[in-house]
Structure formats: structure tokens, C-alpha cells
Amino acid sequence: MKKEELIISTALKLFVENGFHGTATSRIASESGVANGTLFNYFATKEILIVSIYNSIMKKMDDFIIEGIASNSVSKNAFKSLFVASLRWNLENPAAFQYMQQFNNSPFAKSAISKTLKQEEHPLYVLIKNGIDLVVLKPMPAALVFSLFNAQINGLYYYLLNNTIESERTDELTEDTFEMLWKMIQD
Amino acid sequence: MKKEELIISTALKLFVENGFHGTATSRIASESGVANGTLFNYFATKEILIVSIYNSIMKKMDDFIIEGIASNSVSKNAFKSLFVASLRWNLENPAAFQYMQQFNNSPFAKSAISKTLKQEEHPLYVLIKNGIDLVVLKPMPAALVFSLFNAQINGLYYYLLNNTIESERTDELTEDTFEMLWKMIQD
DNA sequence: ATTCTAACTGACTAATCAGTCGTAAAAATA
DNA sequence: TATTTTTACGACTGATTAGTCAGTTAGAAT
């Protein structure tokens, strides 16, 4: 692993465990196996490191979601594949997920403009917009449906996180929860 | 205002603005108009202060929600009143809401056991449990429905937060969103 | 082999911070 | 009023931290 990536992954783990200010840059460096000064060769300040990790996660997430697109047609299946892809990413990357939560609710969030997909460009947003235009979905503000869709994913995610469920049952619940969501948003 | 309350409200504001470790106890004290040492008379450590604020918000929130209970019967209206009360509390206390988010996604979250309503005792959870037993709601795990219910509130809240909406339209959207939720969870 | 360059190193520093403590004011009690 | 108890004060400290920098290393280029 390249040093830069190594620092990012160590920092991600430590930030989630101890918080941003609770994690000393010296600790990140030593646990990454690099010298103190090396960290600052890659990231001029701690804040830049924190925002870089955010952008790095965002990119991976967006790539994963985009891969998960089953079709460009406005079909129930298209929504379902995005629902499942989003949920799976959260389940498979809980540390990254929590990093995002921590970051988004921190004062650093405002420093993170751009570099990441704007809401109106997000595949799910586009799909929802088309769905509403084509009267497949209820006539509501697309941004609201987008927000509710993501909220539903989070709701299911937190349930699965706090209750130990076998993976077979997880799939079943994912199915059921998506059906509920679909019943809710379809026209 | 009592000094203790004064410190709590100042600290709440500063923690939301600058993060937990980004806010010096000395700054909290001086902005509260009390001496440095006085703060530590009320809260032995910074961590105790942070957790105390959490508990203080939790209590106010629970009280507000409990007040919002329209009836003990398992009716659509009972669910709606809890939905509306929860949402309204968030909208009227955005700083406190963000504090909770920040806290729950921080390493301090684990220190916050007890003092606060357990999930199974939460009025909404009880209502959902009864709703499922009485076949008013879909036969799903009560904890999942609870999680989805709260997620829906958050989804709507974030939409309203990020899009400036007149209060009249807010009520309308709240109404519509609850109807969607109800369609989703009812049997 | 020698030079050049870019990455790397870690001891160091100036600043900051959580928490202490001896003293003083204020409040309660007698 | 006199005495005791509680609350408030703020200068101080030991510990920690983000970031620096003068020098080293390793490998590529000549």
C-alpha cells in the first residue's frame, strides 16, 4: 500500500475510535509506520487530512453506487438495485460509514465543498426525478423523496447494526423494507 | 438562569460550532461569564459536562414527546401526534438536534448509558409494539419499525433544513410525509 | 562513480489545554 | 453580629499537540 493510502486508512480507523481532535497526528504517523514529518509531506495540515479522508470515502461510495445501477430505465428494479447497493456499502464499510456521520456532523463539514457529486447529479436523484416526471412516483419534491429514500436505508442499517441478524434474514428484511418503501413512494 | 444551566447552554452552542475537542473549557467558562474553576465545581471533567448536556437534552426531548401523546389508543392519530411532536422538536431545537447527532457519532456515546429512556420504554416503541400485536401494523420486528419511523422523521427534517420552505408548506409536507409513512407501515 | 533530487526522518518548539488549589467573597446558620 | 459553609475566583502547571526544519537516505540520472 502506498504511504498516502496507508496514512488515510490508519487515520480513518483512529478518527472513528477517538474522534478528530482526540487523535494526535503523531499517533497516526506512528501507527502508520511513518515518521511524524512524513505525514505532513502528504497532508499539509490535520484539517486537510480529515477532509481528504472524507473525499476519498465519498469517491469510493459513489463508484460503488454507480456500479450498482441495474438499468437506466425508470423501473422498480432500478430503484431496488440502488437501495440494495447503498445498504450493502454501509454494511460492508461500517467504519467508513461512521466516519461520514462523524464528519457530516462536525464543524469540518463546511470545508468539504465540491469534488463530490452534487445532489442533482446523484444517480438516485436523477432516477427519482425521472420517476416523478413519468408519473411512476408520487408527485412530491424530488429532493424530499431522495431524502426519505436515504433515510429509509439508514433506518434499516441502524436496525441491522444494533440487532444481530443472520445474513439470510438480513436479505429478507432488506427485501421487505424495500417493498415498504416502494409502496410509500410509488404513485 | 442558574450558573449550571448557563454553562450547559453556552457549552451546547460552542460544541456544535467547534466540536467537542475544538472547544476549550476556558472558553466555555469565559463565555458563560464564570471563572475557569467554577466550571469544574459543577462538572468535574469535560467529559462529564459533555455527557450531562446529552442527558439534559434527552430529558427535555422525552418530556416534549410524552406531552405530544394524543391518546393511548392504537390509532393512526396516536402515531401522527408522535410523528409531528418529534419533528417539531427537531425544528424548534436545531442546535440541540445537531448536538445529539454529534454526540451519538462520537466516542463519548458509549459513556451515556441509562438516565435516558430505554428503547423498549419509549412511548413510540410501545405504541408500535401494540400496533403490531393488534394487527394494525404490518407484522415486522417492532425495533425495525421504530427505526424506520424515526428515520422518516429525520429524512423529512433534513429536507426541511436544507430547503427553505414556508411554514404553511411545511405543515402540508409533514401531513403528506406522515401519510406516506402510514401507508408503508400499516397492515 | 558521482551528482542530483525527491522522499523521508525525528528531535524540537511555541502554543494550547484540562484540571488544580490557595484564597476570597457570599450565603447560610447560629 | 459572629461563625461556618458553600460557592466563586483566576493564576498556575504539567502534559500534550500541530507543525517545522535541518539533515539523512535511497535511488535515478548522468
- Residue A68 has a pLDDT of 81
Average pLDDT over residues A7-30: 96
Nucleotide nearest to B39 (CA to C1'): D8
pLDDT at B108 over 80: yes
CA pseudo-torsion sign A181, A182, A183, A185? positive
Q: Same domain, yes or no, for A36 and A63?
A: no
pLDDT for A70 equals 73
The string of pLDDT tens digits covering residues B37-64 is 999 999 999 999 999 999 999 999 999 9
What is the mean predicted confidence (pLDDT) over A109-119?
75
State the number of CA atoms in the 13 A half-sphere of A149 facing the CB. 27
Are both A123 and A176 inside the same structural domain? yes
Question: Quick one: B111 and B76 in the same domain?
Answer: yes
Q: Name residue B137's beta-bridge partners.
A: B186
For B99-105, what is the mean pLDDT?
95
- Write out the residues of chain B at the interface with chain A, using a CB-CB cutoff of 8 A: 17-22, 98, 101-102, 105-107, 138, 140-141, 143-144, 147-152, 154-156, 158-159, 162-163, 173, 176-177, 180-181, 183-185
CATH code of B125's domain: 1.10.357.10
**Residue of B87, B150, B159, B185 best to disrupt the A interface, most CBs of A under 10 A:** B159
Residue B49 lies in a domain: no
| pLDDT, position B139 | 95
Instruction: Answer yes or no: do B99 and B154 share one domain.
Output: yes
Question: A90 in a domain, yes or no?
Answer: yes
**Domain count of the fold of chain B:** 2
Res B113 pLDDT > 70: no
Residue A7 belongs to what domain range? 1-44
Residues A97 and A170: their CA atoms lie apart, in Å, by 18
Residues B131 and B78 in one domain: yes
pLDDT digits 0-9 by tens, A133-156 = 999 999 999 999 999 999 999 999
User: Does the beta-carbon distance from A147 to B156 stay under 8 Å?
Assistant: yes
User: Is residue B116 predicted with pLDDT exceeding 80?
Assistant: no
Q: For residue B31, give the C-alpha cell.
A: 463565555
Q: What is the pLDDT of residue B110?
A: 82
Report the C-alpha gap between B129 and A160 in whole angstroms.
18
- pLDDT top residue among A34 and B70: A34
Please answer yes or no on whether B102 and A106 come within 8 Å at the CB atom. Answer: yes
Chain centroid to CA B78: 19
Please report, rounded to whole angstroms, the spatial distance between the CA atom of protein residue A80 and the C1' atom of nucleotide D17. Answer: 48
What is the CA angle B41-B116-B148, rounded to 5?
Answer: 140
A20 and A100 in a single domain? The answer is: no
- Of residues B183, B156, B171, the one with CA closest to residue A146: B156
C-alpha span between B119 and B126 (Å, rounded): 9
Residue B84 · residue B68 · CB < 8 Å: yes
The amino acid present at A88, given as its one-letter code, is R
Mean pLDDT value of segment B160-185: 95
pLDDT in tens, A167-183: 899 999 999 999 999 99
Cβ pair B99, B89 in contact under 8 A? no
Query: A94-104 and A46-67 helices cross at what angle (nearest 10)?
Result: 120
pLDDT digits (tens, 9 = 90+) for B137-159: 999 999 999 999 999 999 999 99
Residue A49 located in a structural domain: no
Phi, psi of B80 (to 5 degrees): -65, -40
